[in-house]
Amino acid sequence: MADIVFAILAIFALVGAFGMISFHSPIHSALSFIVTILALAGIFALLSAPFLFAVQIIVYAGAIMVLMLFIIMFLNVRESNFPKEPNKFISMFFGSILLLPVNIFIVRAFLKMPEKSMEIVEDGFGNIGSLSMELFTRWLLPFEAISILLLVALVGAVVLARKEES
């Protein structure tokens, strides 16, 4: 059962990702990226990580992609503004052939992975309680460092966006 659900979600994720790079209009790309995000959220839920499932939907699908779509709609790009992409699919084909060695490595790494049982783990795994205990005890320093990084980015954006007083 879980395998079938995983297969469906994985197909959605791949189709969404392919659509994201191959669509011509930016809105279509953004929308198919949302499909990928939702499918990934479903895979998180399948991996007994309900908190990550919710956060993936709230943060990526609910906030970041809305902002992206807002900006794309706000700019009101027209059909004539799109870059011309001659031979798009041919270049994509050759690009994927170039990436083939890397992919073979990834497949080999996947095959080398040890066998693990795919059973549902015990209660509390991946819940907000156990996750935050890990985050605020063992991984406290990296967590705070990432917070500071985000804060720096935020301040930088405000400084860049501020109008100069003339």
Give the footprint of other proteins on this chain (CB under 8 A): 27, 31, 34, 50-51, 53-55, 57-58, 61-63, 66-67, 69-70, 73-74, 76, 127-128
Q: How many other CB atoms are there within 10 angstroms of residue 44's CB atom?
A: 20
Q: How far is the CB of 112 from other proteins (least distance, A)?
A: 35
The angle formed by the CA atoms of residues 52, 129 and 148, to the nearest 5 degrees, is 65
Q: Which is nearer to other proteins, 99 or 140 (CB)?
A: 140
Q: How far is the CB of 71 from other proteins (least distance, A)?
A: 9
Q: Which is nearer to other proteins, 79 or 115 (CB)?
A: 79
Tokens of 32: 């198919």
Looking up tokens 């079938």, which residue turns up? 4
Residue 15's alpha-carbon distances to 43, 44, 47, 72, 152, in angstroms, are 15, 18, 21, 22, 35
Residue type, 122: E
Q: How far is the CB of 70 from other proteins (least distance, A)?
A: 4
Q: Which is nearer to other proteins, 26 or 92 (CB)?
A: 26
